[in-house]
Amino acid sequence: MAVESVESWLGPAGRLQNTIEGFRVRPGQIELAKAVERAITSRHNLVAEAGTGVGKTYAYLVPMILSGEKSIVSTASKTLQDQLFLRDLPRLTKALGLPLQVARLKGRANYLCWYRLQKAQSEAQLASPQEVAQLRTIAQFAELSDDGDLSGCSGVAESAPIWSLVTSTTENCLGTNCPDLGRCHVVAARQRAHSAEMVIVNHHLLCADLALDQSFESQLLPKASVMVIDEAHALGEIATQFFGATLSTTSLAGFGRELLAAGLLHARDGADWAGLNARIELSISNLRRAFDAGQVPGQRFSTGGTDRLRWTDLSSVQDLEGHAALDELEETLQQVRQTLEPNLGRHPELDRLYDRALLLKEALGRSRPNARLSLQQAPADDGVYWIERHRHGLSLHWAPLSVGEQLAPYFQSEARAWIMVSATLATAGQDFDYFLQRTGLQADQTLTVESPFDYSQQGLLWVPETLPDPKSPDLMTQLLSDLDLQAVIRRCPGGIFILCTSHRAVRQAKALLTEMPEAFGQRLLLVQGDASRDALLAQFRQAGQAILVGSASFWEGVDVPGQALSMVMIDKLPFGAPDDPILESRIAACKAQQGDAFMTIQWPEATMALKQGVGRLIRTETDRGLLVVGDRRLAETGYGRRMLKSLPPFRRTRLAQEARQFFPDLQA
């Protein structure tokens, strides 16, 4: 394929200029597209940071389509996955005039399971009249849907517990023994993916596929010669989840209930199923009691309210009780298998439960430290073990400290091009070292394509002269109590994002904004947790002058162009939570090797997170906005000033008067 082919589509005389409404020629987009084209042709690995407004989506889609190669695009969120499949690709292929068979593939939890729907209708003990109505709505959706994608069932909330009754998991799927295999939506979706020329997936499914099969002879995804990872900054964190191990009391309880139901239905005479389930419930109770978070000295709490315990946090009593509870659980799972063994062949559900008992035993083995050692002497080896306790139960976890070692082999194939793109991959200009080390990728080429926006004219970064201690427990309350900030907020002509680094900050902001609405211009207040993210964003856009308070989920993947978002406030630099067991162990391992953990781990992670939050403000060439960072370290420390080099080149000030004057049309 000639190099000119990409420019002939994206350039001034290109077809897209005349066929896609609103399309604008962007030199940076053409530069990125050519780099993607070279990577595809030569089968090398490309890492590219493309600033907001470059148009990275078309920059990789056009050369992918023109190449004619089998390709996969992976995104960090289902929202972008749906946008690519439903909007961007249809628009682009129509403009190109080229036929392209595209498939969208999600994890099995996103598809209705006919078998489990029928079980729920005939067997489930529903918890409330609301669940009865929800099940009826899902059944109606099932008869009308062509693909079973649950995103099309708008009548039931995404977080509704009922979904677990009508979807399958890897553990409970009956596979080829399922009586509804012929109309299985998951099987059909995978078949479409294997026959398509381009497949749109998400990072969770991609990492699940990689973790399942070390040779990439995948069970989930087809082979492809071109792999584009959009929003690649999220790959390392998501991969860590899938290359680790987890065992939860919730999954154990669900297993026990299904064992009881299947045993009574298909092999009532085969065992004391009620007694077996009672033993599972007793094991769960003993496990929860052994790790009762209320008894842990120096208990630490995560920002989300979940108690996180390192094994070294446990008392000597918990050490002994923990050993006993885990050993008892292992014995219980072994008894389950022994009980199921003579009943194999009586029904596929019993056969699958036999396999699941083994999977649970394996998860138990992987998520607890070496049982031959005292829990106080749990080995650090190449990963970290921890316990999480929350209102509904607890879970055991293990995660690798360096997921790059697991990912690296997949990136070394000479027959495949890996192309990583995101708006936030580099730190301090064009330094990709942290991203490459985190993912294990060896890049043949790195590229930084600057945003076409005129940030110095479109935006202002204000770090106020007088600020509270960023480590203060009531930081957000102090920030929003500042009269200068209140005056700037009242003067802002559009909507405002308040992006918080903790759930505590969200609660503080909500309390003060609710208590003193007049100080902030009597704006509509929208707070994360009061509704779904999509619902909050829809209200925010419609209101025009609302305040939206949110934490992690609003820092990235949110696009509100125009005056509807005119100001973004960030409470402090987003360094990782000190109780995060993975981060804590990575820092300890770095220090043990005489490394600078702050600059090699904490600083680059905070920098990329800050870039994501800042990126919400200016979304088009005509946007105009004020960025407020309530952390003096950004302006007064060496590492903060270095962090500034990674941000868009906004005009900067520390003067409240200049911040007020940025919005000249309204009176404070």
pLDDT at 553: 87
Average pLDDT over residues 11-20: 86
In angstroms, the CA 34 to CA 584 distance is 41
Length of the chain (residues): 668
Is the domain of 645 the same as that of 554?
A: yes
pLDDT at 78: 86
- CB count in 10 Å sphere of residue 582: 20
Closest by CA position to 549, among listed 587, 516, 505, 519? 505
Query: What residues have CB less than 8 Å from 151, skipping those under 6 apart?
Result: 78, 82, 110
- CB count in 10 Å sphere of residue 383: 21
Distances (CA, A) of 626 to 34, 211, 573: 34, 43, 17
Is the predicted pLDDT of residue 508 greater than 80, yes or no?
yes
Dump pLDDT digits (tens) for 511-545.
Answer: 999 999 999 999 999 999 888 888 899 999 999 99
Helix (H) or strand (E) holding 581: helix 581-592
Is the domain of 419 the same as that of 531?
A: no
In angstroms, the CA 543 to CA 533 distance is 15
Higher local confidence (pLDDT), 261 or 311:
261
Domain count, the chain: 4
Token pair 């105009």 is found at 624
Is the domain of 87 the same as that of 216?
A: yes
Average pLDDT over residues 22-31: 92
- Between helix 27-42 and helix 56-67 the angle, nearest 10°, is 40
Is the predicted pLDDT of residue 176 greater than 60, yes or no?
yes
pLDDT at 635: 96
How would you classify the pairing of strands 226-229 and 71-75?
Answer: parallel
pLDDT at 469: 96
pLDDT at 539: 95
In angstroms, the CA 479 to CA 544 distance is 23
Query: What residues have CB less than 8 Å from 328, skipping those under 6 apart?
Result: 283, 286
* Cβ 437 vs Cβ 64: under 8 Å: no
- CB count in 10 Å sphere of residue 287: 23
Is the predicted pLDDT of residue 299 greater than 80, yes or no?
no
Dump pLDDT digits (tens) for 619-668.
Answer: 999 999 999 999 999 999 999 999 999 999 999 999 999 999 999 754 44
Is the domain of 231 the same as that of 87?
A: yes
Domain-embedded: residue 349: yes
Is the predicted pLDDT of residue 9 greater than 80, yes or no?
yes
Is the predicted pLDDT of residue 273 greater than 90, yes or no?
yes
Q: What are phi and psi of 114, to 5 degrees?
A: -60, -45
pLDDT at 98: 81
In angstroms, the CA 26 to CA 665 distance is 32
pTM, 2 dp: 0.90
Closest by CA position to 428, among listed 629, 577, 612, 603? 603
CATH number at 354 reads: 1.10.275
pLDDT at 145: 94
Is the predicted pLDDT of residue 97 greater than 80, yes or no?
yes
Copy the structure tokens of residue 15.
């077809």
| 3-state class (DSSP) for residue 67 | helix
In angstroms, the CA 193 to CA 663 distance is 50
In angstroms, the CA 426 to CA 413 distance is 24
In angstroms, the CA 34 to CA 622 distance is 27
Is the domain of 219 the same as that of 355?
A: no
pLDDT at 170: 86
Domain-embedded: residue 49: yes
Is the predicted pLDDT of residue 301 greater than 70, yes or no?
no
Is the domain of 357 the same as that of 256?
A: yes
Domain-embedded: residue 331: yes
- Between helix 316-340 and helix 273-290 the angle, nearest 10°, is 160
CATH number at 24 reads: 3.40.50.300
Domain-embedded: residue 667: no
Give the mean pLDDT of the chain: 90
Is the domain of 482 the same as that of 624?
A: yes
In angstroms, the CA 476 to CA 509 distance is 6
Among 385, 400, 415, which residue terminates a domain?
400
Is the domain of 385 the same as that of 306?
A: yes
Domain-embedded: residue 351: yes
- Report the DSSP beta bridge partners of residue 229: 74, 420
In angstroms, the CA 572 to CA 293 distance is 29
In angstroms, the CA 520 to CA 161 distance is 38
pLDDT at 414: 83
Is the domain of 387 the same as that of 415?
A: no
Domain-embedded: residue 668: no
Dump pLDDT digits (tens) for 105-144.
Answer: 999 999 999 999 999 998 767 878 899 999 999 999 999 9
Is the domain of 463 the same as that of 506?
A: yes
Average pLDDT over residues 568-589: 89
pLDDT at 305: 56
| Residues of the domain holding 49 | 4-101+196-241+404-449
Average pLDDT over residues 54-59: 95
- Report the DSSP beta bridge partners of residue 394: 389
Is the domain of 509 the same as that of 588?
A: yes
The 8-class DSSP code of residue 412 comes to G
Among 449, 483, 513, which residue terminates a domain?
449
Strand order in the sheet with 445-449: 102-104, 198-202, 71-75, 226-229, 417-422, 46-50, 445-449
- CB count in 10 Å sphere of residue 481: 14
The 8-class DSSP code of residue 296 comes to -
Among 415, 432, 449, which residue terminates a domain?
449
Dump pLDDT digits (tens) for 466-478.
Answer: 999 999 999 999 9
| 3-state class (DSSP) for residue 507 | helix
pLDDT at 666: 47
pLDDT at 372: 39
Token pair 């129509």 is found at 94
Is the domain of 383 the same as that of 520?
A: no
Helix extents (H) in 303-369: 316-340, 348-367
